[in-house]
Copies of this chain bind each other. A is one copy, B any other.
């Protein structure tokens, strides 16, 4: 089973690496990081680069497509070579997935029309522009399209997908091996739960980040 994870400049690293860690636990998984060009692709902080081992053209028919998000998503919204690749890969994929604002790239490629989808909470309302139906859920399945909320939600999305593909016991084994028994020291991981002044602070910052 081939899993293609798409990279572009200024992606958010955990969006990509969370699903990578879970999905690579699938039986016979062959995960490959792809980008327009091979070589290091730098994440949004500037502090981390992951190697794209193959170009998009090298990997035309992955079984699973994973599109991360991040501040760099905006710059890809009219990148036709990437959007074309998404449409082509989607034509034969078993699962087409995204994390965070990666769903906006799937939407821009025309793949989420009429579908329920998730995204980072700060970007959720942008899905409607592309005739997708935003939901507040952390992981949304609509047919073969699986979209996750922001950043860390990709872990939950991918572990759920491992269960669908390889069964509950296999997914539990992946969970146990990665000791995924989360114990966040705070309970502020969603806008409904966080203090209002912090939600507002991020909302005002996002006018600059998410454009």
Which A residues form the contact surface with B (CB < 8 A)? 12-14, 17-18, 20-21, 24, 29-33, 40, 45, 47-51, 53, 100, 120-121, 138-139, 149-153, 155-156, 159-160, 163, 168-169, 171-173, 175-191, 193-195, 198-199, 201-202
Residues of B within 8 A of A156 (CB): 182-185
Whether A24 and B50, one on each chain, are in contact in the complex, defined by CB atoms closer than 8 angstroms, is no
Contact partner, A189, options B17, B21, B176, Cβ 8 Å: B176
Residues of B within 8 A of A189 (CB): 175-176, 178-182
Copies of this chain: 2
Whether B160 and A179, one on each chain, are in contact in the complex, defined by CB atoms closer than 8 angstroms, is no
In the complex, which residue of chain B has the Cβ closest to the Cβ of A154? B179
Whether A177 and B155, one on each chain, are in contact in the complex, defined by CB atoms closer than 8 angstroms, is no
Whether B138 and A183, one on each chain, are in contact in the complex, defined by CB atoms closer than 8 angstroms, is yes
Whether B152 and A178, one on each chain, are in contact in the complex, defined by CB atoms closer than 8 angstroms, is yes
